[in-house]
């Protein structure tokens, strides 16, 4: 049953990430921490999300805005170790509660279309990058701050997707360096790899056939549901 759940979560996360350029962590982290625990669940989310981002970049790397992404990536590299330390010192129930609240809050902000004046220009890029680096290593949630930055920079979805994939690939590498690779069994790695490729393939087939707004709304609603469930699980363990 654990293998089935792991495969299903990875498939769904890879599908929505390939379809919308975001969402792997928002959709999968709440379920992964239930299946693998808060420490290994986040480490595995970093690993899988990084692979999905690299696969996605294989077809869109020419559209990456390197000049715009440099401050985001540098800021993320500086805060990633702090996120790993934060995750190590918190008890498991508290970590689950924090993850649940972060998922729910960030998904809610993205649903509302929130615009933050501080997330503009170089200062906004550094703030979003630093926040994303910390959140990605601590809770596997590096994408939402960059999504908020993109909204405030008025990026189109075509501009956002390749740059989000580029940022995600590098930030997940930072997270794995500071947290380490999760100690999964051979069967778990095989199931996850197969589900990841299948989910990415389905996302590639359906990309462009599902309206962007509909796809993003579905991702964020799933994230809210998962975040609330994770937060309640953390609360019940206190």
Question: What confidence score (pLDDT) does residue 194 get?
Answer: 93
Q: Which residue has the higher pLDDT, 109 or 126?
A: 126
| Cα radius of gyration (the chain) | 16
Res 59 pLDDT > 90: no
pLDDT digits (tens, 9 = 90+) for 130-162: 988 988 888 787 777 887 787 777 777 777 778
Question: What confidence score (pLDDT) does residue 206 get?
Answer: 78
Question: What confidence score (pLDDT) does residue 114 get?
Answer: 67
The Cα 118–Cα 74 span in angstroms is 18
Question: What confidence score (pLDDT) does residue 191 get?
Answer: 92
Q: Which residue has the higher pLDDT, 104 or 176?
A: 176
pLDDT digits (tens, 9 = 90+) for 174-192: 999 998 888 888 888 999 9
pLDDT digits (tens, 9 = 90+) for 28-40: 887 888 888 888 8
Res 214 pLDDT > 80: no
Q: Which residue has the higher pLDDT, 77 or 109?
A: 77
* Most distant CA pair in the chain, distance: 48
Question: What confidence score (pLDDT) does residue 170 get?
Answer: 92
CA distances from 82 to 20, 48, 142, 144 (A): 29, 21, 14, 18
Q: Which residue has the higher pLDDT, 115 or 183?
A: 183
Q: How much is the pTM?
A: 0.81
Handedness of CA 61, 64, 67, 71 (dihedral sign): negative
Mean of the per-residue pLDDT values of the chain: 82
137 within 8 A of 179, measured Cβ to Cβ: yes
CA 207 to chain centre: 19
Beta-carbon contacts of residue 145 (< 8 Å; ≥ 6 apart): 106, 127, 128, 129, 131, 132, 135
The Cα 108–Cα 217 span in angstroms is 11
- The DSSP symbol for 211 reads -
Res 54 pLDDT > 80: yes
Residue position matching structure tokens 């206190």: 238
Could you give phi then psi for residue 129, rounded to 5 degrees?
Answer: -65, -45
The Cα 129–Cα 9 span in angstroms is 26
Q: What is the DSSP annotation of 91-158?
A: -HHHHHHHHHHHHHHHHHHHHHT---GGGSHHHHHHHHHHHHHHHHHHHS--HHHHHHHHHHTT--HH
The Cα 49–Cα 54 span in angstroms is 9
Q: What is the DSSP annotation of 23-71?
A: -HHHHHHHHHHHHH-HHHHHHHHHHHHHHHHHHHHHHHGGG--HHHHHH
pLDDT band at residue 94 using 50, 70 and 90 as cut-offs: confident
CA distances from 135 to 30, 68, 208, 227, 230 (A): 14, 20, 30, 14, 16
Question: What confidence score (pLDDT) does residue 164 get?
Answer: 84
Least confident of 54-58, 165-169, 192-196: 54-58
pLDDT digits (tens, 9 = 90+) for 15-30: 887 777 667 877 888 7
């Amino acid at each position: 049953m654990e293998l089935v759940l792991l495969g299903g979560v990875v498939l769904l996360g890879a599908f929505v990430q390939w379809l919308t350029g975001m969402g792997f962590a928002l959709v999968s982290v709440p379920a992964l921490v239930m299946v693998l625990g808060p420490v290994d669940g986040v480490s595995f989310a970093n690993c899988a999300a990084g692979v999905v981002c690299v696969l996605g970049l294989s077809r869109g790397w020419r559209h990456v805005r390197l000049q715009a992404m440099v401050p985001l990536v540098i800021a993320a590299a500086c805060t990633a170790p702090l996120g790993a330390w934060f995750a190590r010192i918190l008890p498991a129930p508290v970590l689950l509660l924090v993850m649940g609240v972060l998922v729910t809050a960030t998904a809610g902000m993205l649903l509302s279309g929130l615009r933050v004046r501080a997330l503009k220009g170089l200062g906004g890029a550094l703030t979003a990058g630093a926040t994303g680096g910390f959140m990605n290593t601590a809770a596997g949630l590096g994408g939402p701050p960059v999504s908020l930055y993109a909204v405030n920079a008025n990026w189109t979805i075509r501009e956002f997707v390749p740059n989000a994939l580029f940022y995600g690939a590098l930030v997940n590498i930072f997270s794995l360096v500071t947290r380490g690779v999760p100690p999964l069994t051979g069967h778990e790695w095989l199931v996850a790899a197969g589900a990841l490729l299948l989910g990415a393939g389905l996302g590639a087939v359906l990309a462009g056939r599902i309206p962007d707004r509909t796809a993003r709304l579905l991702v964020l609603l799933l994230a809210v549901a998962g975040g609330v469930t994770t937060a309640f699980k953390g609360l019940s363990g206190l």
